[in-house]
Amino acid sequence: MSAPTTDASHPGWTLVIHGGAGGMRRDTLTPAQDADARAGLNAALDAGSAVLAGGGSALDAVEAAVRVLEDDPAFNAGRGACFTYDGTNELDAAIMDGRTRAAGAVAGVTATKNPVSLARRVMEDSPHVLLAGKGADAFSRDRGLEQVEPDWFATPERRTQLDTMKASSASAFDVDMKYGTVGAVARDRHGHVAAATSTGGVTGKRWGRVGDSPLIGAGTYADDRAGAVSATGSGEFFIREGVAHEICARVRLAGDTLQTAGDTVMANVRALGGTGGVILTGPAGEIAWSFTTPGMYRGRVSASGSRTVAIYADEG
């Protein structure tokens, strides 16, 4: 599913967000689930657009938008993250600044309330790009980020998903990614782009599995020369394709539009056996998204005042 590129010549700002791609259909979501998701997406657009409308940076905007989605139990990131096979929550996040291609990421963190903000601290306050596990948790405490108890992340719905998976097959793995990942991409009034992604992974993951979200170039990438990308879907395939960087490379080196690049790369992922989606914005204000699943929680807004919030493939 593609969306027409818009705002290509607009000198203002743009913001695009997602709350995961997967099997969301009108007959699989209850009215309450539909309404909760749309409310969460609108709240995230409000947070990010307030930054951009006030002259703030794309980097600040994507962090603000993703923090809202991390705090919303309707999505699989932060509060409402899915459970590992062992019944814990392990959180991944990444952020990238298109001005300098500086980036920060964390994997397998367990106590930071907003992992996207921890990823930003890794980028700005360490010599590293990616911290994982106990080291990432220690860095978070050392830097004074807000810590929470495990029950902050846990929700009954996610626990039920794990129990159902275990009851059906002890070795099952949620490759369908029905509830996966949140992200944001933005272009500020100065023409700079940024991307951020955060996730609770997949239900039943084991052995410290890490997906594409915190991997720069796979699930997250930003480059002022091409655009900003945040991905969601079956992470193993997105890693193999190097989705986010591949899209930007096609724009920068092959002259593709963001929409063409996104559609082409998502087709490549599907050929490998994976599904999911991407959100995109470019330094000229282009907006696009592309997904190969029945639905993707998504939204976009720009300085022109136009706003779209959508879930299903036949809208938005």
Return the active site residues: 181
Sheet containing 227-233: which strands, arranged edge to edge?
A: 220-223, 227-233, 276-281, 287-291
Q: How far is CA 150 from CA 138, 153, 197, 279, 295, in A?
A: 16, 6, 21, 30, 30
Both structure tokens of 142: 């050392």
CB 227 within 8 A of CB 186: no
Enumerate the β-bridge partners of residue 221: 229
Q: How far is CA 258 from CA 119, 135, 263, 283, 299, in A?
A: 26, 36, 8, 11, 17
